[in-house]
């Protein structure tokens, strides 16, 4: 579940963003829509505890993020959130498998090679485990990114424009993988998107239209 209340973020030397409240139940699917610059990526970063709000509260999987010390937040995120960024950076200094193993290190738990291999298998890229990321195609990298997202069986999956650069067939496969992963973990799934294909793939999803709140509406 995710609840936000009176959430506000101020970019240093940038805009002040005030968000309408969001509620999504555990296991629910939320589509964050809204034009470019409306604050979708910022909201995802706030929900992941990657950014700290100037005001308001975010509760994710029953955890009020304001109650987590900065030191605990990273390990909490690593255990709880599957974050699928618009472009995942993987280190080319190590194999795909070693890149995924870093998730365990970040979460402070022993690494589990069997789980990594199972996740890569589930996404049809098991044979790529020993390759370097630069030896993979865009579509293969996207599957690896998805495998990484679900590795820790997250309670919440946050995906930022996951279909933006994909053709119809790859988009359909990627969305099905996201849906299957979320169902398997009973995870709450949030997808930031302005792609009509995503809404078609999740007809029952709650849609939240991201819009800039006017300063006057705050008082």
105 near ligand ADP, judged by CB under 6 A:
no
Strand runs labelled E in 101-192? 156-160, 188-192
Query: Of 11-19, 70-78, 87-95, 133-141, which segment contacts ligand ADP by CB under 6 A?
Result: 11-19
SS (H, E, C) 167-211: CHHHHHHHHHHHHHHHHHHCCEEEEECCCHHHHHHCCCCEEEECC
Query: Of 8-16, 91-99, 122-130, 143-151, which segment contacts ligand ADP by CB under 6 A?
Result: 8-16
CB of 50 to Mg ion, least distance (A): 13
Q: What are phi and psi of 23, to 5 degrees?
A: -135, 125
Q: Which residues contact 38 (CB under 8 A, 6 or more apart)?
A: 210, 211, 212
Which residue of 10, 15, 25, 209 would you call a contact of ligand ADP, by CB under 6 A?
15
Number of residues that bind ligand ADP (CB under 6 A): 12
Say how far apart CA 6 and CA 200 lie, in whole Å: 30
| Interface mask toward ligand ADP for 22-61; x: CB under 6 A | ------------x-xxxxxxx-------------------
Residues that bind ligand ADP (CB under 6 A): 11, 14-15, 17, 34, 36-42
């Amino acid at each position: 579940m995710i609840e936000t209340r009176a959430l506000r973020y101020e970019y240093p030397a940038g805009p002040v963003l005030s968000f309408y409240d969001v509620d999504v139940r555990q296991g629910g699917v939320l589509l964050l829509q809204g034009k470019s610059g409306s604050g979708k990526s910022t909201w995802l970063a706030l929900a992941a505890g990657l950014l700290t709000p100037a005001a308001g509260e975010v509760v994710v999987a029953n955890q009020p993020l304001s109650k987590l010390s900065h030191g605990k937040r990273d390990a909490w995120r690593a255990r709880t959130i599957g974050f699928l960024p618009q472009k995942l950076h993987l280190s080319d200094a190590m194999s795909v498998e070693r890149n995924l193993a870093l998730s365990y290190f970040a979460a402070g738990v022993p690494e589990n090679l069997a789980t990594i291999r199972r996740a890569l298998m589930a996404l049809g890229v098991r044979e790529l485990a020993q390759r370097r990321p630069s030896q993979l195609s865009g579509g293969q990298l996207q599957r690896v990114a998805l495998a990484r997202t679900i590795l820790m069986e997250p309670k919440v999956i946050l995906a930022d424009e996951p279909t933006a650069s994909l053709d119809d067939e790859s988009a359909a496969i990627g969305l099905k993988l996201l849906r299957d992963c979320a169902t398997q973990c009973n995870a709450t799934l949030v997808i930031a998107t302005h792609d009509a294909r995503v809404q078609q793939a999740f007809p029952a999803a709650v849609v939240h239209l991201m819009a800039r709140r006017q300063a006057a509406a705050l008082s």
